[in-house]
Chains A and B, each alone.
Chain A
Amino acid sequence: MSVSARNVDLTHCFVEEGSLSLPVQAFAGRVGSKFIISLRDQNKILGVKCPKCNKVYCPPREYCEKDLTKLDENWVELANEGVITNFTIVNYNDKHLPRKAPYCLAMIKVEGADTPIAHIVEGVEVEQVKIGMRVKAVYAKETTNTILDIDHFEPL
């Protein structure tokens, strides 16, 4: 009879291994689709501008968070350059992560936008990354129809 530290009988304990797979469909939405398609086909970063308060959102969204104005018709073209407003260094490896650790994941406010976008920063040692650093988008050679159609940002 096998017994645990708390004196519990473990004779009939067992472990069942399993695998769960569920088909998933992730829809980018109308606004998200246009944003990704522009990255993919024109290598241009688009945002939406609120006609009421002039706030420019990138990544674009359908409604203004301040005044709830519908924004999806008011597209603006933004620069391929921007500034790091915040960042973190990812120091662990996992299957779902896009890079091997350590790598830098930064919030980047592209020129012309009022909100930052999260992306990978490469081409600089992770210790050297600073808030306020200017970076530019480097586009991926092959499309994945995701935000990774920008492969990464690198310092100017």
Chain B
Amino acid sequence: MAEYFGSKVEDIFNTMPERFLPEGVKGVDVVIGYDITGEGGGKWFITIKDATLKVEKVDALPKCSVTISTDAEGFVGGALGKIDTGEAFSSGRLKVAGDVTALLNVLPKAFTPFQPVVRAKAIVESMPARFRADKAEGQNLKIGYDLSGDEGGAWTVVIKDQTCTLKEGLDADATVTMRMAADVFVGLNTGKIDPGAAFGGGQVKIDGDMMAAGATAKLFGKFVAAGAEEKQGEELIALKFLPKIRQRFASGPHLGMWFHGLKNKIMYASKCPVCGRTQIPPREVCAVCRVRCPEFIEIGPKATVTMVDTAYYASPDPLTGHVRQTPYAALFMVMDGATPGESFSHELNPKDIDRIKPGMKVRPVWNDIRTGGFKDLLYFEIDD
């Protein structure tokens, strides 16, 4: 299984039960799906209900309240804080479908942050770096580690002339060989298992010089997990919160008329009673003559393109919050029947991006289901 920043995707899911905080999710009822691509990825979903957690790995995701899709490296990096999830989101690397608010509210309260899982291999490989030469004067030792289990392996640590080297495999002439399960080895090195109990209880078997086994401890500095050392630094305070602002949007008579028109596939402009110019979408006042414009006229539906603005940056769509597919293009156009110079802006059907040019005629494409909202008019396309 592939590792990213020293951790695997499955580590994050496997540690969820122990990181779960039932008091943080009282009254929460949510199913979160994860679709993680790339090596070491897969599909998982977690169910949080009645302050209990269920984590399941599946071939196909069931219906979820919210689904997170990203690649394995991005997922692990995000969990470890190595990759900025905000950036991953705006660049489209991380996609969230469904109830985003529920996700932002639930996850920080449901789990303590993921800490890298310490592996036996990482502990053994750090031994030369942790070696304390000043304590090893006159020592000539070969210490074998025979660790069983999925995360196990066999290594020999050679201490000679106040230097420490590591090699894979066991030597027949080792001073001492210690045999144990890899997770026991990890527990001993991270302080989670009491050495007395492990040695006394038979979890560790020692072949060879018992005294040498006892002497190894003082030859090495304490093992510190990757990432754990950073927490020793200065404490900084940052408060995270999710303010909710209630909003009320009143259409007013002119935009009300505009949306009423869209519902019926009609585009209305307001017409100035003094200068005769049209404004689309309609506005209550002509800003040139400073008079009210109560009169509506029907314009379009076709238009002449004056300018095209093509975007290649995957920004979030402010109307939906979803990351837009790139490239996309905005059109500026003069509707048929509108005053020249009064341009209207809308999106272009992405299929026409390669062909569109100023001066071309375009026509609107309407949504089949129209509710009197901004989604009623989908986009414009080349009229040919």
Contact = CB atoms under 8 A, between A and B. Distances in A.
Contacts, number: 91
A16 interface: yes
A32 B248 contact: no
Given A30-B234, A145-B237, A16 B242 contact: no
A25 B236 CA distance: 13
B274 to A, nearest CB: 18
Contacts of B243: 21-22, 24
Contacts of B249: 15-16, 18
A: contact size bracket: 20 to 34
Given A23-B104, A33-B235, A33-B237, A10 B245 contact: no
A149 to B, nearest CB: 10
Contacts of A106: none
Interface in B87-105: 101, 104
B235 A13 contact: no
A22 B246 CA distance: 12
Interface string B48-62: 000000000000000
A145 B256 CA distance: 47
Contacts of A28: 236-239
A1 B246 CA distance: 30
B232 interface: no
A85 to B, nearest CB: 27
A32 B238 CA distance: 10
Interface in B226-274: 234-253, 256-257, 259-260
Contacts of B246: 17-19
Contact of B239 (A16, A20, A146): A146
B327 interface: no
A6 to B, nearest CB: 9
Interface string A61-82: 0000000000000000000000
B81 to A, nearest CB: 13
A21 B234 CA distance: 31
B235 A8 contact: no
Contact of A18 (B248, B257, B260): B248
A27 B235 CA distance: 12
A4 B254 CA distance: 13
Contact of B101 (A9, A13, A21, A27): A21
B238 A13 contact: no
B294 interface: yes
Contacts of B239: 25-26, 28, 145-146
A20 B247 contact: yes
B247 A19 contact: yes
A11 B246 CA distance: 25
A19 B321 CA distance: 13
B380 to A, nearest CB: 24
B254 to A, nearest CB: 9
Interface of B: 101, 104, 234-253, 256-257, 259-260, 294, 372
16 contacts: A12-B253, A12-B257, A12-B260, A14-B251, A14-B259, A16-B249, A16-B251, A17-B248, A20-B244, A23-B104, A26-B239, A27-B238, A28-B238, A30-B234, A32-B237, A33-B234
